Amino acid sequence: MTEKYKGPAEVVSQEPIAADIYSLWLEHKEIAAAAKAGQFVSLYPNDSGKLLPRPLSICEIDAEKGRLRLVYRVTGRKTGTEQFSRLQAGSQIEVMGPLGNGFPTGGRQKAFLIGGGIGIPPMVELAKQLSGEKQIIAGYRDELFLTDELAAAGTLYIATEDGRSGTRGNVLDAIKANDLQAEVIYACGPTPMLKAITAYAEEKAIECYLSLEERMACGIGACLACVCQSQEIDEHSNVNNKRICKDGPVFLASEVVL
């Protein structure tokens, strides 16, 4: 089990990279040294009126410099994420991590790395850590972001709802349009996308790993606020549930019911 750390992290830099999408680099040597692709951290707002931390997926890890990159969406005014967007270089923020279980990165299989919306950022570090042929399929609703980083780490295919870039449609439309094949799938994004990918993986008999998105409270599995239905009975809750923050956020598609 990965050791968790909690304490202040220094903001190295922050910039907007698309509408309401921000790229935040933090320095925390212990978390950066322990983190793996697919894990997340919890950031604590500097506001006594907002007690709960906000879970943010890890986009990139620079263990040598002791830094983490978080790419996140601001979800509204007067929210924790809106407060984070005002952080500037040199300021500090309370952080806990790394949290959860990440993606398996062994082997040299031909892979699909599929990200949708704010599920795209975790694919950057995953692509950097995987061996073998990496086909990255990114689905966007509006503006594109992180395309340079993704293209540098694998072969990038883009899907947009309005067809402004890449394939018109969703990520599966891009896979079909480009006649792509894979031996393993890694995916992160909204639940409807993950359901469709799970069905595709079952049809094609492809091993599939999903990173689930859910609102979280404690981030460490104690409160049972972020559960998903599972095929097996969870030994902690004694029902067919899995805690996304503790048992996930990455699961084999065959483990969970979406």
Q: Among residues 59, 79, 99, which one ends one of the domains?
A: 99
CATH of the domain at 41: 2.40.30.10
* Residues 58 and 152 reside in one and the same domain: no
**Percent of the chain predicted with pLDDT > 70:** 84
* Residues 233 and 149 reside in one and the same domain: yes
- Count structural domains, the chain: 2
Query: Looking at the predicted structure, is the pLDDT value of residue 227 above 70?
Result: no
* Residues 242 and 164 reside in one and the same domain: yes
Per-residue model confidence as pLDDT tens digits over 132-149: 999 999 999 989 999 999
pLDDT of 225 reads 47
Residue 190 lies in a domain: yes
Q: Among candidates 108, 105, 140, which has minimal Cα distance to 125? A: 105
Per-residue model confidence as pLDDT tens digits over 13-29: 999 999 999 999 999 99
pTM (two decimals): 0.89
SS (H, E, C) the chain: CCCCEEEEEEEEEEEEEECCEEEEEEECHHHHHHCCCCCEEEEECCCCCCCCCEEEEEEEEECCCCEEEEEEECCCCCCHHHHHCCCCCCCEEEEEEEECECCCCCCCCCEEEEEEHHHCCHHHHHHHHCCCCEEEEEEECCCCCCHHHHHHHCEEEEEECCCCCCEECCHHHHHHHCCCCCCEEEEECCHHHHHHHHHHHHHHCCEEEEECCCCCCCCCCCCCCCEEEECCCCCCCCCCEEECCCCCEEEEHHHEEC
CATH of the domain at 165: 3.40.50.80
Domain that holds residue 249: 111-257
Q: Among residues 38, 72, 99, which one ends one of the domains?
A: 99
* Residues 33 and 80 reside in one and the same domain: yes
Q: Count of residues for the chain? A: 258
**Percent of the chain predicted with pLDDT > 90:** 71
The contacts of residue 51 (CB under 8 Å, 6+ apart) are none
